[in-house]
Every structure is written in structure tokens, then in C-alpha cells.
């Protein structure tokens, strides 16, 4: 299992498919970072390591 962080540009269907395969996927909307500037989400993402971004 892998942990992923996806932004609003990543297809919701792909998020659901990754979850169905047992992966832990957090979307930017779920994290309260929807439509936030890249720098904001990147800094948040780095504090959550280890996590892969989509």
C-alpha cells in the first residue's frame, strides 16, 4: 500500500480506483487545500512525508 496526495487536477475516478486497490489517497479538498497556491500545498505535502503526490 502507498500513500498519495492528489490535487484537484487529478481525476476523481483514479482516486477511487487507487482506494479500491487498498491505497491511502488524500485529496487536496479533503485536506482543506483545494485551490490553494502550489507553494501552500507543496509545503503541506512535505510536512506529511512519506507520501507520494499525484
pTM score above 0.75: no
What pLDDT, on a 0 to 100 scale, did the predictor assign at position 44? 67
Please indicate whether residue 37 or residue 46 has the higher confidence score (pLDDT). 37
What pLDDT, on a 0 to 100 scale, did the predictor assign at position 1? 81
Distance CA 50, CA 9 (A): 21
When pLDDT is averaged across residues 3-24 and rounded to a whole number, the result is 91
| Number of continuous H segments (helices) and E segments (strands) in the chain | 2, 3
What pLDDT, on a 0 to 100 scale, did the predictor assign at position 54? 53
Sheet holding 24-27, edge to edge: 24-27, 3-6, 52-53
pLDDT tens sequence across 14-38: 999 999 999 989 888 898 888 877 7
Q: Answer left, alpha or beta for residue 4, where phi above 0 means left and psi between -120 and 50 means alpha.
A: beta
Amino acid at each position: 500500500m502507498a500513500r498519495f496526495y492528489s490535487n484537484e487536477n487529478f481525476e476523481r475516478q483514479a482516486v477511487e480506483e487507487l482506494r479500491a486497490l487498498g491505497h491511502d489517497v488524500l485529496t487536496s479538498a479533503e485536506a482543506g487545500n483545494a485551490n490553494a497556491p502550489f507553494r501552500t500545498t507543496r509545503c503541506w505535502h512535505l510536512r506529511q512525508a512519506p507520501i507520494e503526490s499525484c
